[in-house]
Amino acid sequence: MSAAQPVSTAPIRSEARLLVPALIFVALVVAAVASLGTPLITSVATTFHVSLDSAQWTLTIALLSGAVATPVLGRLGAGPHRRATILATLAVVVVGSAFTVLPLPFAWLLVGRAAQGVGLGLTALMMGVARDHLPEERSAATIALISVVSIIGAGVGYPLAALLAEFGGLRAAYGFGLLVTAVAFVTAWRSMPAAPEGRSAHVNVAGALLLAGGLLLVLFLAGERNLWSRHLAVAVALAVAAVLLLCVWTVFELRAKTPLVDVRAVRHPAVAGANIAMFVGGSGMYLLLTLITRYAQTPHGTGYGFGLSTFVAGLVLIPFSVLGFIAGKLTPRVRERIDGPLLLAGSAAIVGGGFVLFAAARSNLAELLAAMGVLGFGVGGFSAAMPGVILAVTPESETSSAMGFNYVVRSVGYSLGSAIGGLVLAAGTVTGRLFPNDDAYTTAALVGVAAMAITAMACLALARRRPLETEPSPSAR
């Protein structure tokens, strides 16, 4: 069935105006709510009297649950009960948001944050709905925009959460999450159509458990930076265990009749290359985002930094969100003239330029804002071009599953980028001092330049293969 001729075209035409903003709104909400953990870590530590490492889990556990839920929801979304899956997932997010607001112990806050993270899996489902129920040109632009807002949502959620926490306390910030997720549920209930007929999907529970175990270890190792410096042998052992679990999961998926992720489709050169680029590029993109926000909040007394409050530091993300959104809107038009892999390579080069700018010029706030804007434009273009590269060789029924796997890769890449930044800055911190030397930021930026150079080269290699693949794979027809 062609994407240009979806089922029940008459109702779709009359509801398309509501469907597109609804898809984008849901994707934006789940991304913004998941990012609430980032600016609130210090407030959580002081409010619940826990360590900063423990408070960090309010972010890590959301990323973990999102990474695990995404392929599961992607598989469910490929079946006939996609609408019910979307509504049930948003209901879980709303309940989790309530747990973060109620005066409950810290463990319940983690439960609530895990439930909120499950909502990240809805991004791929929003793409599946767009591909099934919108004309081809409009669906491509909508999918690109959904991919962009799933990233720039952090730039929306961060300053709002910081502002609410500063003036209303921690519960007010999490209350914002409860409000917008409830609105998202009502929006989805009123606008999400049923999946086309003839779909079927089964969730491989064993595969989901293996993936969850592997990702848990990966994200734990990415978040526990002290483990690498103080207990290297334990960290290496856990890293080996994570690799083994993910390898077993891959073999299990290849043999399963109803795999959680179609690993054979992932082996297609275009899909594999795009996911490799997403992993390495995602690491670099999140690294720069981490460096800039941390640098902006460093006190003047260290000899560098701007000593910004959490809220004002959040405002530094505005250029990231604005230019990312602009790039996302422009990319579908540019792609009519430039192939997707070349757009990925160009976007990676732009992000690399943001690293160079940060490494060379960060003496005033305007330079920091410029670097953040360049990063946003590059990330926006990269995120908008990525779905087109993958979906060009993916059947419509597997849209949610394919993009779900790409999200898992992106999530792990982001976690790795955060961990790399922490390790480089920790290595540049003199014993007895709280903040790293200024040179450590330059070193971390150069690591980012290398990551984006690798990403650009991988995308160029993918672009050279594309002329040989003018016909989509049989599964994509």
Question: Mind listing the pLDDT tens digit for each residue in 220-272?
Answer: 777 666 777 677 788 889 889 988 998 898 888 888 777 777 677 677 777 78
> What's the pLDDT score for residue 442?
94
pLDDT at 11 over 50: no
pLDDT band at 367 (very low <50, low <70, confident <90, very high): very high
300-335 residue pLDDT tens: 888 888 888 877 877 888 898 889 889 988 888 888
> What's the pLDDT score for residue 470?
42
443-452 residue pLDDT tens: 999 999 999 9
pLDDT at 99 over 70: yes
> What's the pLDDT score for residue 56?
74
> What's the pLDDT score for residue 468?
44
> How far is it, in rounded angstroms, from Cα 268 to Cα 251?
17
Q: Tell me which residue has tokens 């409860």.
A: 178
Instruction: Return mean pLDDT, the chain.
Output: 82
CB within 8 Å of 363: residues ≥ 6 apart = none
Name the strand (E) or helix (H) holding 67: helix 57-77
Nearest to 67 by CA among 282, 287, 230, 227: 282
To the question of domain 261-467 being in CATH 1.20.1250.20, the answer is yes
Q: Is 472 exposed, middle or buried (0-12, 13-18, 19+ CB in 10 A)?
A: middle
Q: In this structure, are residues 285 and 382 in contact, taking their beta carbons and an 8 Å threshold?
A: yes
Q: Tell me which residue has tokens 């409009």.
A: 138
Q: Tell me which residue has tokens 């071009």.
A: 385
CB within 8 Å of 427: residues ≥ 6 apart = 440
pLDDT, average across residues 62-88: 82
> How far is it, in rounded angstroms, from Cα 290 to Cα 37?
14
Which range of 24-38, 420-434, 446-460 scores highest in mean pLDDT? It is: 446-460
Nearest to 75 by CA among 85, 90, 65, 64: 85
> What does the chain come to in residues?
477
Kindly list the domain boundaries of the chain, sorted by start residue: 14-192, 204-259, 261-467
Q: Which residue has the higher pLDDT, 59 or 19?
A: 19
Superfamily classification of domain 14-192: MFS general substrate transporter like domains (1.20.1250.20)
> How far is it, in rounded angstroms, from Cα 386 to Cα 377?
14
pLDDT band at 392 (very low <50, low <70, confident <90, very high): confident
> What's the pLDDT score for residue 14?
46
Q: Is 403 exposed, middle or buried (0-12, 13-18, 19+ CB in 10 A)?
A: buried
pLDDT band at 199 (very low <50, low <70, confident <90, very high): low
Sign of CA dihedral 397, 273, 345, 412: positive
> What's the pLDDT score for residue 90?
96
Answer whether 14-192 and 261-467 agree in fold. yes
Q: How many other C-beta atoms lie within 10 A of the C-beta of residue 69?
A: 26
pLDDT, average across residues 153-166: 77
Q: Which amino acid appears at position 451 of this protein?
A: A
pLDDT, average across residues 397-417: 77
Q: What is the dihedral of CA 176, 407, 77, 75, to 10 degrees?
A: -130
Q: How many other C-beta atoms lie within 10 A of the C-beta of residue 237?
A: 11
pLDDT, average across residues 13-39: 80
> How far is it, in rounded angstroms, from Cα 88 to Cα 86?
6
Put residue 465 in one of left, alpha, beta given phi > 0 → left and psi -120 to 50 → alpha: alpha
State if pTM tops 0.85: no
> What's the pLDDT score for residue 388?
83
Q: How many other C-beta atoms lie within 10 A of the C-beta of residue 13?
A: 12
CB within 8 Å of 450: residues ≥ 6 apart = none
Q: How many other C-beta atoms lie within 10 A of the C-beta of residue 236?
A: 13
pLDDT at 4 over 70: no
> How far is it, in rounded angstroms, from Cα 377 to Cα 321?
8
CB within 8 Å of 13: residues ≥ 6 apart = none
Q: At what angle do helices 170-191 and 41-48 cross, to 10 degrees?
A: 120
Nearest to 361 by CA among 271, 438, 422: 438
278-307 residue pLDDT tens: 888 888 888 888 888 888 888 888 888 888
Q: What is the dihedral of CA 247, 251, 254, 256, to 10 degrees?
A: -120
Query: Per the structure block, which two tokens stand in for 97?
Result: 């948001």
Cα 431 to Cα 52, 305, 428, distances in angstroms: 19, 20, 9
